[in-house]
Structure 1
Amino acid sequence: MLLLVPADPLRGARPDPHWAREYEAALALGLDVALLDHDAAERGDAAAAVHRVPASADVVYRGWMLTAGQYAGVAGALAGRGARLRTSPDAFRAAHELPGWAPTFEGLTPDTAVADGFDRPAFEAALDRLGPGAAVLRDHVKSAKQDWETACFVPEASDRERAWRVAQNLIRIRGDHAVGGLVARRFEELTGPELRSWWVDGALVCIGAHPDEPDADTPGGKGVAACDESPRDPALVAFLEAIGVRVRGLGLPFVTVDLARGADRWWVIELGDGQVSDLRRDADPRVLLRALAE
């Protein structure tokens, strides 16, 4: 396996500082490593982005987010150099964009209605499918939860004027990064911190507090943040087993599943491609890298 991480934008022969920890851990484990020019990948110059990457039959990327189109460009440029990404462009899109995974998790994730595009008729048709009640808005890739009251949360989906104002704010904030169309999801009250689980070839590798939960307790116990702890809550264990069935059904090589406890059950909040999902800074990257290498 060759681990591909972003290069430092200012010192192209070194890894980006955010990903240097995983780069160094891979070297310590005896894995091959290479650097991607992420800025070049973002601007569509895939050949320049991969000019440092040697031939390899099994490349795993760990780095900053790419769009599905940018990822496909990188995959094509790598193939031209004799390097094959383990996660195909189609598999990346299925994990990275909500329409690719949400139907598989029906019953385990809040009810979801997807619009194809960002126009008001398509959005209101999605709200019709979702039905009345509180909702959370996002696009096919991301929400604007940092602007919860104005660009994310809709107290009542049947209030179409207010819902559309929130949607317009979301569209404005996402700007050129908006993907696919608007999505309305049933709002569920969560009672605990969000967790992130990591899956390689349908097998659970580890689970720990989400990177956005700086002080959260993890399944291993209070104050334990590393992503190498076994969950102790029987309800969580059972829920992870149910998640595993769905993950294996998707057939994706490397994904994360974010989850949280609701009032009386657990919910899947998000599925993402593991290559562009962040790992907590207090987690040992060797746990994940060993699973990927094996």
Structure 2
Amino acid sequence: MNIIAIVLHIGAAKGIHMHLLYPCDPFNKMKPDEAYEEEFSTAQHAGFTWFPFSYEDFELGEFKPRPKPAFAGEILYRGWMLTSTRYAQLQGAIESLGATVAVSAERYRQCHYLPEWYERCKDVTPKTIVLLKDDDFAAALSTTGWSAYFVKDFVKSLTTSRGSVARSISEVREVVDLIERYRGQLEGGVCIRELENLLPETEERYFVFRGKAFARDGVVPELVKDVARRIDSPFFSIDVLLNKEGTARLIELGDGQVSDRKKWSAEAFIEMLSASLTN
């Protein structure tokens, strides 16, 4: 019995039938990329089977999980952020080999793009106006009464030292231009959010897996449980901050497959997946 067959057998014995798909090391296609090495090692020890694939090859139109003959079952991707179009291509590539995805392209988009989840959660998150890059920002924002703005595309904010906060309409345009310059493109469009009085040191990331919300310390706030009930996706992350009044505010949703663990240890993260799959 080869090593892949052995691992498959161990995973089945532990009741784990979902397999993990990781991007591989560019120089060794049988190893995970170093960014996922700790998580991969923990997952393997917990009984998960895994398949590495070359992200670089995938971008060139080739999807070759290794070992290809063993590729089957339900696949949960853990890797770099993908556009919704690229993720749909990944789903198609996975299904073309006879496997299935744990998260469909539709569900991926629902949590990955802010406008897709905003209407379901608008009462617990900062007010947001969605625009196209060439829209008239001044006209769109003229009646908001907001004193400052947080500017991002559908997925990410400006992560340079400049940051995404704008104090005027002209600064909104400046941030949009910088996002496009540094990231190469605006993904989806522009989201302009009211800048609330939030306490950045209180930020926490939670995960929802198969309908159940999880916290790294085991304490799940009511807001997170509420949001978990509103979103119909198998695996997503929820980012929460407190405002200066002590009220929890939803800041971001993300597809769980492409969400960093942040403060979560690899052990806590894999335990969450394992417990949900074996119960």
Q: Same fold (TM over 0.5)?
A: yes
Q: Are 1:146 and 2:128 matched, yes or no?
A: no
C-alpha contact (below 8 Å) 1:120/1:164 kept by paired residues? no
Unaligned runs of 5+ residues in structure 2 are 1-17
| Residue deviations 1:61-91 (CA, integer Å, cap 9, x gap) | 1112111111111110110101111100011
Structure 1: distance between partners of 2:39 and 2:143: 43
C-alpha contact (below 8 Å) 1:5/1:15 kept by paired residues? yes
C-alpha contact (below 8 Å) 1:130/1:185 kept by paired residues? no
Residue pairs, 1:1-294, within 5 angstroms:
1-41=18-58, 43-45=59-61, 47-50=62-65, 52-53=67-68, 54-115=70-131, 117-121=132-136, 123-128=137-142, 130-148=144-162, 152-156=164-168, 160-176=169-185, 178-191=186-199, 192-206=201-215, 227=216, 229-231=217-219, 240-264=221-245, 265-280=247-262, 283=265, 284=267, 285-294=269-278
AA matched with 2:122? E
Give the match's secondary structure for 1:279: coil
Once the two structures are aligned, what percentage of the paired residues are identical? 29
C-alpha contact (below 8 Å) 2:126/2:194 kept by paired residues? yes
| Residue deviations 1:256-291 (CA, integer Å, cap 9, x gap) | 001111111111111000000111476123323314
Give the match's secondary structure for 2:187: coil
Structure 1: distance between partners of 2:74 and 2:47: 15
Give the match's secondary structure for 2:227: helix
C-alpha contact (below 8 Å) 2:209/2:273 kept by paired residues? no
Distance 1:148 1:28, change over 3 A: same
Higher strand share: 2
Structure 2: distance between partners of 1:64 and 1:182: 22
Distance 1:17 1:164, change over 3 A: closer
Give the match's secondary structure for 1:243: helix
AA matched with 2:234? P
CA RMSD of aligned residues (A): 2.1
AA matched with 2:157? S
Deviation at 1:292, TM superposition (A): 5.0
Distance 1:282 1:162, change over 3 A: closer
Structure 1: distance between partners of 2:39 and 2:175: 38
C-alpha contact (below 8 Å) 2:51/2:66 kept by paired residues? no
Structure 1: distance between partners of 2:143 and 2:41: 48
Structure 1: distance between partners of 2:171 and 2:252: 25
